[in-house]
Structure 1
Amino acid sequence: MFRVPLSIAIVLVIAFAGATFSAVYALKATVGFGSIEIGAWKAWPVAHTKNADPYAKAHRARAGKVLLAGAEGLVFVADNDDSGQRLRGNCSYVVGGKTPPARFWSLHMTDAEDRLYAVDGPFPYAFHSHEVTRDGDGLFTIVLDRTPSAGNWMAIDGAPQHFRLILTLFDTPTAGSTRLEELEMPKIERLGCDDA
């Protein structure tokens, strides 16, 4: 007597759980379509506009983040170095070169879940365009390492977990450009790892 309703209830629970899992997986797997890649850097220039695809809108709603409008700026994310290897906290890196034209830019680190990268003590974990030192040609170099170094240095904790670099360009003419792929972005070079 209860066999048919029980079977229907089990099928509905499995269907609901499967649909929920697939939706969460899809939102974690992508920020949306229309990404551009320049070296190790990736950006989604239309993710915050009215032309954003449904995945980008759902990702934005789930994350609860207020994104920059097209005229305000553009956010680039790097998960890998220029050789294609994942960024890890037990490796040392040099980030440097040029940034696209912008009135102001900032560079900071997050963990794999997009939380600010936690560093113990009063160590620098971010830089912006007004505090970074440059050479005579206007190029900058930032070292990411466990041990302090002269010049621009950002602290990493030495744990083998993956982290991301976030470069935000504010008030930049490149945000509305159709030739974004031609921009010159900072290079990310791995110097070495503790487990190598």
Structure 2
Amino acid sequence: MLKTVLLVCLALAIAIGGGAGSVLYALNHSASFGAIHVGPWVAFPDIGTPDADPYMQARYAREGGLALGRAEGVEFRASEDTENQPLSIRCRYRVEGETPPARFWTLYATDEKHALLDGIGERAAATSSLAILREAETTRFVLEVGAEPVAGNWLPVSGTGSMQLVLTLYDTPIANRTDLTDSVLPSIRRIACDG
């Protein structure tokens, strides 16, 4: 009798542990379902719709994200630069180019757990289309990301480890398109690294 109870407990432990492990694996390694890549940027345009992949919905909910519907906008994330090198808080980057037409957009830096990075002093590690200086008579801009202040557009980040840049376009016509791959998004180029 004791042997039967122990076997049942062992079977339950394997089933529950294996099930929980497979769910965690699926949540952590299913990032490519429904992903659209535009250079270093990755978007999941279906995340706020009924067509969303359940694994991506679960991961987004676990991160505490608020999914945008197609009519609201689209969020792009970059964890690598244009040369496919991981983004590091210890490096300086130049984000350069244009964004697709949008009523408003934000750009901010997060750590690997998707928490907003610390800025420097009173400056947050975030900016928006209202705060960006653009080139004369164009929508093109240049923004430097790093710990050292620079003239012009600067996104201050501090700390160590990897980071992500998150570009969110609000009220944009590209959110309703099924193919975002021909969209024009800014490049992310590494300038220098500290160590």
Shorter-chain TM range is over 0.9
* TM norm structure 1: 0.92
**2:139 is aligned with what amino acid?**
G
Q: CA deviation at 1:64?
A: 4.0
CA distance in 2 between counterparts of 1:66 and 1:146 reads 28
**Residues 191 and 64 from structure 1, CA distance in 2 versus in 1: closer, same or farther, beyond 3 angstroms?**
closer
Q: 1:71, CA displacement in angstroms? A: 0.6
Q: State the partner residue of 2:158.
A: 157
**For the residues of structure 2 that align with 1:78 and 1:57, how far apart are their CA atoms?**
19
Residue 84 in structure 1 maps to residue 88 in structure 2: no
Assess if the C-alpha contact under 8 Å between 2:109 and 2:157 holds in 1. no
Residues 1:35 and 2:35 aligned together: yes
Q: 3-state DSSP class of the match of 1:23?
A: helix
Match of 2:166 in 1: 166
**Amino acid of the residue matched to residue 147 of structure 2?**
R
Residues of 2 paired with 1:110 and 1:131: CA distance? Answer: 19
Q: Which amino acid aligns with 2:143?
A: I
Does the aligned pair in 1 maintain the 2:72–2:170 contact within 8 Å?
A: yes
- Cα deviation for residue 65 of structure 1 reads 3.0
Distance (Å, rounded) in 1 between the aligned partners of 2:127 and 2:153: 8
Q: In the aligned structure 1, how far is the partner of 2:120 from the partner of 2:154? A: 15
State the distance in 1 between where 2:61 and 2:26 align: 14
Whether the 8 Å CA contact 1:32–1:59 is kept in 2: the answer is: no
Q: Which residue of 2 aligns with 1:117?
A: 117
- What amino acid does structure 2 have at the position aligned with 1:150? A
Q: TM-score, normalised by structure 2?
A: 0.93
Counterparts of 2:194 and 2:32, CA distance in 1 = 35
Q: Alignment RMSD, CA only?
A: 1.5
Question: Which structure 2 residues correspond to residues 10-29 of structure 1 after superposition, within 5 A?
Answer: 10-29=10-29
Contact 2:70 / 2:175 at 8 angstroms: preserved in 1? Answer: yes
* Distance (Å, rounded) in 2 between the aligned partners of 1:141 and 1:176: 27
Find out whether 1:143 has 2:144 as its counterpart: yes
Please list every run of 5 or more consecutive structure 1 residues that lacks an aligned counterpart in the other structure. none
Structure 2 gap ranges (5+) = none
